[in-house]
């Protein structure tokens, strides 16, 4: 018997000293796990505050930074301080326009996932998987989700998606779904240093569920479990309105705490995915050609199987070295373990990761993740936005303090019978007349109107506007602004391309995040899809065979997924149609080939009409043509048959041209 694991390393679970050191699952209580998750969530407090500041600047709340009031010494917002001086805090939101320009650049180059089988002979399966991924994109509305996720990525430098297979009550179906995880509810390992996040050992999120959703999710079919959950969350009431009636606001996310929900009617659930360690045994069954791992407690079963094979082999006259046994090896297994906990430490559900990819369901991206710090696209241009707002407010102050139509009326020149109020009223009246007799040597009334004092504010404002474009990398050409008179089209296109180069690194990082997410989505589909289905959302891009998704054929196939430019864009369809029309005009392809491979809106109906007409002609020919077995049947005259064959193709061409 060949045994790769020494007997000294096989011991029962009664050895509590060694198990306490090695097996983390058995000896870690939920209180310590919640504390570890709470520390990870608290470690992101500075990041969340900075993300809220960037969000406020993006959406127009640009005077919310707190300063110390010189008069009272209290901390107040800049908006409150400006209003206290009797002025209006003006702003010119340039950040929002820059963010929308980047989103437009991303949306204009629509991309989609393409799966390629590692084995060239299984390339048809790659086409099949590409079609099912397009179906998953359509089901989850991934292009809309990606745009909104990129917007969040630009603002906070963090984005996170979660991939799960389960029941969706909104769609009333079971499938693979992608959900967006809000950054205020997310926590992860604060010791990560790898920008690929391969060293992550903890990740999770906090949920706030109604009592009905909680029971439906975690009670299963056990009524006693439902009553127990009802007792744990005794303060939560049945599906009532929120205690805070203000809607369409971020306050309920900005004021989150880790253990207590913002609304006392909700139930706080803490989902924690943690990398655990455990003693296990690797097994190589030579007879069955299988590799697997077992629990340390199941090792006697392997010994019994090997002993039975030894006895059977000896009975058949085999030498001990010729008997195929199960080879074993002791090792420390590192795996992901999931727990859903209450704030009190009660375990609602726990399990080892059920996914074939052997990881957690989250996909995370931080940009740029350097030395543990991140700085978003919006954060880089906040200083320029603040200076622009300050200059606008300064110009407004100067204009408000300058003289504008002030009347200087000498007191000794006031006419008899009139007051200064009468003079002011007459002065502002349309066609008003002030009759007075000037005294010799006295000063005459005069009006003073001056322009705002030129202190260089306008030049500084123009400078900051240019710096805003230089720092962000989003220039006028990328924003679609009208070019100056005399600018060549090629030069304008070159400017737009050069501006897009400044965003290549950012968009490449986001596409890497999408590839990682789509790979997990693809693996989840491979694991959980169990029935054949016909997917025809891809039009004519793939063969008919590839449109039949067979889960058994793709279950154990490895695919490489890449993000490529979508073939569903209008520009691509126009180019493809033009190429096919050239082949058709030169006679290289038939009209059926043109309709089957082109992207014409009427292609399917026209193709069916042509095929139906051909079938009718064939049937008509068969009904009137004289058969050798039937001498009484009629026969088409040769000249008529020649005309039919000659005019069939022109009729189809004419139908296509019309």
Say if CB 134 and CB 336 are below 8 A apart.
Answer: no
Which of the four pLDDT bands, split at 50, 70 and 90, describes residue 437?
confident
Check residue 358 and give its pLDDT.
92
pLDDT, mean of residues 129-156: 94
540: pLDDT strictly greater than 60:
no
Task: Please give the structure tokens belonging to residue 269.
Answer: 């659930």
Distances, alpha carbon 503 to alpha carbons 101, 383, 482, 508, 517, in Å: 11, 20, 21, 8, 21
Helix axes 382-401, 45-58, angle to 10 degrees: 50
Check residue 654 and give its pLDDT.
57
Check residue 584 and give its pLDDT.
84
pLDDT, one tens digit per residue, over 176-225 is 999 999 999 999 998 898 889 999 999 999 999 999 999 999 998 899 99
Q: Which of 131-140, 203-212, 429-438, 460-469 has the lowest mean pLDDT?
A: 429-438
Q: Which of 49-63, 116-130, 471-485 has the lowest mean pLDDT?
A: 471-485
Which of the four pLDDT bands, split at 50, 70 and 90, describes residue 454?
low
554: pLDDT strictly greater than 80:
yes
Distances, alpha carbon 235 to alpha carbons 224, 243, 563, in Å: 19, 13, 48
- Return d(Cα 193, Cα 200) in angstroms, integer: 9
- Close Cβ partners of 3 (under 8 Å, ≥ 6 residues apart): 327, 328
pLDDT averaged over the chain? 82
DSSP 572-610: HHHHHHHHHHHHHHTTSS-HHHHHHHS--TTHHHHHHHH
pLDDT, mean of residues 497-523: 87
- Return d(Cα 136, Cα 492) in angstroms, integer: 38
Distances, alpha carbon 136 to alpha carbons 165, 423, 585, in Å: 12, 78, 38
527: pLDDT strictly greater than 90:
yes
Which of the four pLDDT bands, split at 50, 70 and 90, describes residue 410?
confident
Domain boundaries, the chain: 7-13+278-335, 404-450, 570-657
Which of the four pLDDT bands, split at 50, 70 and 90, describes residue 476?
low
pLDDT, mean of residues 308-325: 91
- Close Cβ partners of 590 (under 8 Å, ≥ 6 residues apart): 584
- Return d(Cα 463, Cα 453) in angstroms, integer: 19
- Return d(Cα 405, Cα 264) in angstroms, integer: 60
* Strand 186-188 with 202-209, pairing: antiparallel
The pTM (predicted TM-score) of the whole model is 0.77
pLDDT, one tens digit per residue, over 55-97 is 999 999 999 999 999 888 899 999 999 998 888 899 989 999 8
- For the chain, the maximum distance between any two Cα atoms, rounded to a whole number of angstroms, is 145
- Return d(Cα 114, Cα 590) in angstroms, integer: 29
């Amino acid at each position: 018997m060949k045994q790769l694991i020494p007997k000294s390393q096989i011991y029962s679970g009664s050895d509590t000293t060694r198990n306490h050191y090695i097996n983390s699952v058995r000896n870690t209580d939920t209180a310590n796990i919640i504390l570890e998750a709470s520390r990870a969530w608290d470690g992101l407090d500075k990041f969340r505050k900075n993300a809220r500041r960037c969000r406020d600047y993006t959406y127009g709340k640009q005077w919310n930074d707190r300063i110390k009031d010189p008069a009272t010494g209290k901390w107040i917002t800049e908006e409150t301080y400006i209003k206290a001086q009797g002025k209006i805090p003006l702003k010119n939101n340039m950040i929002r326009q820059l963010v929308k320009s980047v989103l437009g650049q991303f949306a204009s180059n629509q991309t989609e996932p393409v799966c390629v089988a590692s084995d060239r002979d299984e390339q048809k399966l790659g086409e099949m998987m590409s079609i099912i991924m397009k179906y998953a994109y359509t089901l989850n509305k991934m292009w809309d989700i990606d745009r909104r996720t990129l917007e969040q990525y630009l603002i906070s430098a963090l984005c996170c998606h979660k991939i799960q297979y389960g029941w969706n009550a909104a769609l009333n179906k079971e499938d693979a779904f992608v959900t967006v995880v809000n950054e205020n509810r997310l926590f992860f390992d604060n010791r990560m240093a790898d920008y690929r996040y391969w060293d992550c050992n903890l990740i999770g999120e906090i949920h706030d569920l109604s009592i009905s959703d909680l029971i439906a999710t975690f009670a299963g079919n056990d009524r006693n479990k439902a009553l127990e959950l009802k007792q744990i969350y005794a303060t939560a009431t049945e599906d009532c309105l929120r205690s805070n009636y203000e809607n369409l606001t971020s306050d309920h996310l900005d004021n989150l705490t880790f253990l207590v929900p913002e609304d006392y009617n909700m139930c706080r659930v803490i989902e924690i995915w943690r990398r655990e360690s455990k003693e296990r045994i690797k097994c190589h069954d030579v007879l069955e050609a299988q590799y697997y791992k077992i629990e340390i407690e199941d090792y006697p079963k392997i010994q019994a199987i090997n002993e039975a094979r030894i006895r059977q082999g000896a009975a058949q006259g085999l030498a001990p070295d010729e008997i195929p046994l199960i080879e074993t090896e002791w090792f420390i297994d590192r795996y992901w373990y999931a727990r859903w906990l209450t704030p009190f430490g009660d375990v609602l559900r726990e399990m080892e990761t059920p996914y074939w990819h052997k990881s957690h369901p989250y996909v995370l991206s931080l940009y740029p993740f350097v030395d543990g710090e991140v700085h978003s696209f919006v954060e880089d241009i906040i200083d320029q936005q603040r200076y622009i707002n300050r200059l606008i407010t300064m110009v407004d102050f100067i204009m408000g303090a300058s003289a504008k139509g002030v009347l200087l009326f000498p007191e000794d020149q006031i006419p008899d019978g009139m007051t200064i109020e009468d003079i002011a009223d007459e002065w502002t009246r349309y066609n008003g007349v002030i009759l007075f007799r000037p005294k010799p040597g006295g000063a005459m009334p005069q009006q003073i109107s001056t322009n705002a004092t030129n202190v260089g504010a306008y030049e500084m404002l123009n400078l900051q506007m240019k710096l805003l474009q230089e720092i962000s990398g989003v220039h006028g050409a990328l924003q679609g602004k009208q070019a100056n008179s005399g600018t060549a089209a090629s030069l304008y296109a070159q400017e737009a391309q050069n501006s897009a180069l400044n965003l290549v690194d950012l968009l490449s990082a986001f596409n890497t995040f999408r590839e990682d997410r789509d790979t997990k989505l693809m693996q989840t589909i491979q694991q959980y899809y169990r029935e054949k289905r016909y997917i025809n959302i891809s039009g004519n891009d793939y063969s008919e065979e590839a449109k039949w998704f067979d889960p058994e054929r793709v279950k154990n196939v490895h695919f490489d997924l890449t993000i490529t430019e979508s073939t569903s864009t209008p520009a691509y369809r126009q180019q493809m149609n033009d190429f096919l029309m050239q082949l058709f005009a030169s006679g290289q392809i038939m009209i059926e080939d043109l309709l089957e491979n082109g992207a014409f809106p009427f292609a399917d109906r026209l193709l069916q009409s042509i095929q139906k007409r051909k079938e009718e002609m064939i049937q008509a020919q068969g009904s009137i043509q004289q058969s050798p077995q039937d001498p009484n049947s009629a026969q088409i005259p040769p000249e008529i048959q020649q005309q039919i064959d000659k005019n069939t193709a022109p009729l189809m061409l004419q139908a296509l041209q019309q």
